[in-house]
Amino acid sequence: MKYPFENLVFEGGGVKGIAYVGALEVLEEEGILDNVKNVAGSSVGAIAAVLVGLGYKNARLKTILTEMDFMDFFDLGSLTEQPNLFQRLFSQYGLAKGDAFCRWLEDRFWEIGFKKDLTFGILDDIITHGHYDHLDRHCRRIYLTGTNLNTGVSEIYSHETTPDMRIIDAVRISMSYPLAFVAKPNGDGDLCVDGGVLCNYPVRVFDYDLTLEPYERYIETSTNKATLGIRLSPGDIYYEPEIKKQPINNLFDYAAAIVNSYLSFQDNVHLEGDDWARTAHVDSLGIETLQFDITTEQKEALIASGRKGVQTYLDWFRNA
């Protein structure tokens, strides 16, 4: 069967993003991945979107995502710097500097032949003129989200909206969990954090004309049926599970509770209508976003769940 999907969207979800390995395996087996022209994502979904957008093959993607340790990105600085952690928290609004993550991502760029200063505009030019066609590499246009704290709105970073922005800087913003990572300025000097705070699942990004001003984009929209989104959802998302109270014992529990409240609201928004019909739900198996100590067995279970979720959706799509 020939599928209509040209846009692929990855939801944010921290360590649960390992499930994208299995999801991408199925998309490749079904011949869908070869037809994807655009990718979008928030938070860990932004990382997945960038790796897919730069043309990484699935076999290498599996190694990268399964070996990626989020704790390695939590760079608090040297022992001499650590007494100043709270000063950094109150002056730069985060503990970890985020430099370790940027270095890790720079290595991923170099590995596949891109410079760390690659911008959205340069990538668009590369794709438009086929500069990498001789390398058998399928690059895709990338769309990432960030949350602008000065304006209180969700931002989209892409060749259409921010052509001169380094892609690495956009990913750094999109994955910056509030208070855990230092807030990063965008091109206008506004402080920005995790794209997932306001738009954890940017499945509608391809419904809008992004060349318009933000306040004009949402006046007239139409559902883009060439979009396929992948969500990392609890298995009981369609039901009314018993509400679980999360303990709040410190500042980070408090910040996590605020972010999770926003994410819970977004979950409900996308459960109905046209978004449901273009979404593959992957069971996150009860694993939490910030559960950094997951085992090898849990990683493999998430990968299997990613395969199952996408395959179940495609089975439904073929018979719809």
Catalytic annotation, residues: 43, 194
- Structure tokens that stand for 104 in this block: 């890790």
CA 106/CA 102 separation, integer angstroms? 6
Instruction: Identify any residues that bridge with 153 across adjacent strands, giving them in sequence order.
Output: 148
